């Protein structure tokens, strides 16, 4: 099997079943974040709930992160190798309103915000909507 894939699974302590290898392969190939329904379409016959649980496992083990891009379905993208999904690892996402793809802007961290007194920070979801490079030309 593909070395990179098995390495990534091992790195995050995920047992490398056939299903998981396939799913991770699709996730890695896909340049933009992908939703469960989209993932389903990539497979001829895989079961929805299996895919669902595979994504959940990946997410728990911090192999992937979820983006709430407001399209009505959560989208997932592979984390950087040493991401622990903590505040410092958070980045901005971009949803193209034309092609409906969601990009990870890995280089753009979510800006720190000074919250009102008494409010404490746990997590953040920052999605910018607009037109992506491809659709702009």
What CA–CA distance (Å, rounded) separates 127 from 104? 10
**Bridging pattern class, strands 91-96 and 64-67:** unpaired
Contacted by 3, from a second copy, DNA, none: CB < 5 to 8 Å by type: none
Q: Does the protein bind DNA through residue 26 (CB under 7 A)?
A: no
- Beta carbon of residue 14, minimum distance to DNA (angstroms, whole number): 7
Burial class (CB in 10 A: 0-12, 13-18, 19+), 67: buried
Longest Cα–Cα distance in the chain? 52
Which residue bears the tokens 């971009």? 94
Q: Does the protein bind a second copy through residue 118 (CB under 8 A)?
A: yes
Structure tokens at 64: 């992937």
Burial class (CB in 10 A: 0-12, 13-18, 19+), 54: buried
- Beta carbon of residue 83, minimum distance to a second copy (angstroms, whole number): 18
26 or 36, CB closer to a second copy?
Answer: 36
Q: Which of residues 89-108 bind a second copy (CB under 8 A)?
A: 92, 94, 97, 105, 107-108
Q: Does the protein bind a second copy through residue 127 (CB under 8 A)?
A: yes
Contact residues toward a second copy (CB under 8 A) are 68-70, 92, 94, 97, 105, 107-108, 111, 113-133, 136-137
Contact residues toward DNA (CB under 7 A) are 15, 17-20, 35-37, 45-50, 52-54, 56-57, 72-74
């Amino acid at each position: 099997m593909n070395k990179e894939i098995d390495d990534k699974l091992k790195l995050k302590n995920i047992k490398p079943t056939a299903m998981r290898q396939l799913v991770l392969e699709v996730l890695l190939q896909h340049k933009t974040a992908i939703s469960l329904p989209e993932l389903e379409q990539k497979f001829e016959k895989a079961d929805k709930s299996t895919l669902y649980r595979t994504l959940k496992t990946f997410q728990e083990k911090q192999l992937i992160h979820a983006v709430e891009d407001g399209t009505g379905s959560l989208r997932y993208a592979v984390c950087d190798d040493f991401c622990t999904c903590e505040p410092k690892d958070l980045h901005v996402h971009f949803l193209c309103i034309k092609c409906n793809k969601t990009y990870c802007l890995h280089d753009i961290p979510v800006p720190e915000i000074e919250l009102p007194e008494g409010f404490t920070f746990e997590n953040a979801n920052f999605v910018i909507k607009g037109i992506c490079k491809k659709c702009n030309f």
